Amino acid sequence: MKVRIIKSTNDTEWLSWWYKNRIGEEFNVYPDPDRNEYYFTKCELYGDMQEVHILKDDCEDIIS
């Protein structure tokens, strides 16, 4: 599944800090089995590939 970041709730949600400057970017995601309100994705942070969360309310599905 692919999503596009549409906002960042970084003022209230501590897991969204990494994408606050990535509004409009697209990511391949998969469900977080422990937290239904999040997706997981992988992206490069600090020179390494990291597994990070995206709040579902902060993104929109991309239908291809």
Percent of the chain with pLDDT over 90: 73
Q: Is the pLDDT of residue 14 over 80?
A: no
Q: Is the pLDDT of residue 11 over 80?
A: no
pLDDT band for 52, please (50, 70, 90 cuts). Answer: very high
Q: What is the DSSP string of the chain?
A: -EEEE----TTT-GGGGGGTT-TT-EEE-EE-SS-TTEEEEEEEETTEEEEEEEEGGGEEE---
pLDDT of res. 12: 60
